[in-house]
Amino acid sequence: MAILEILEFPDPRLRTTATPVAEVNDEIRQLVADMFETMYAAPGIGLAATQINVHKRVVVIDVSEAQDQPLVFINPQIEVLDAELLHEYDEGCLSVPGFYETVSRPERIRVTALDADGQEFSLEPDGLLAVCIQHELDHLNGKLFVDYISTMKRQRIRKKLEKQHRQQA
Ligand code: QAP
Ligand code: CO
């Protein structure tokens, strides 16, 4: 087990498109374990492999209060069930620490993915889980929640984080 470093906006590596996992083997299960450890330590409710600079299509999520309902999504695919029904949520991101902005996304989706055993499963999540899965799948495509807000807000967040990163260096 290992806690891994989380890339922060505007790191260009967050713009990488992740590659599908060909086989769910022990290496992938180790990656999943490290991602959970990193996410729970943060603490966060969702983490995509992209955020730890591993460009494979792997996401871990746990939106439960007690942090006892881990969900693994390998090669996730989303189908929008009602394109007109949108849900607004104040999103944050471990890669954009300290900033929250309202994002609008489809409320009714179906997710199909592989679990840590390589078994395909489908889910029709609602509420926060539906938001979180879409946010994490965006990471696998190099997209961040700040891409949905105004250029002015995004620039302000980028400048503040760049300044923090300079002070840390
Ligand atoms: C994605 O985000 C998400 O700014 C997961 O200082 C968030 O786990 C999807 C975090 C909200 C839907 C709604 C953020 C921790 C954690 C911060 C997270 C921070 C410390 C974010
Ligand atoms: Co995120």
The pLDDT tens digits of the residues spanning 35-54 come to: 999 999 999 999 999 999 99
pLDDT of residue 1: 84
Is the beta carbon of 42 within 6 A of some atom in ligand 1? yes
Nearest ligand to the CA atom of 134: 1
Rounded distance, CA 19 to CA 40, Å? 25
144 CA from centroid of ligand 2 (Å): 7
Write phi, then psi, for 17 (nearest 5 degrees): -85, 125
Which of 86, 30, 24 lies closest to 57 in space, CA to CA?
A: 24
Q: Examine the pLDDT at 152 and tell me if it is beyond 90.
A: yes
Ligand 1 atom closest to residue 42's alpha carbon, by position in its atom list: 15
Ligand 1 atom closest to residue 99's alpha carbon, by position in its atom list: 4
Q: Examine the pLDDT at 169 and tell me if it is beyond 90.
A: no
118 CA from centroid of ligand 1 (Å): 27
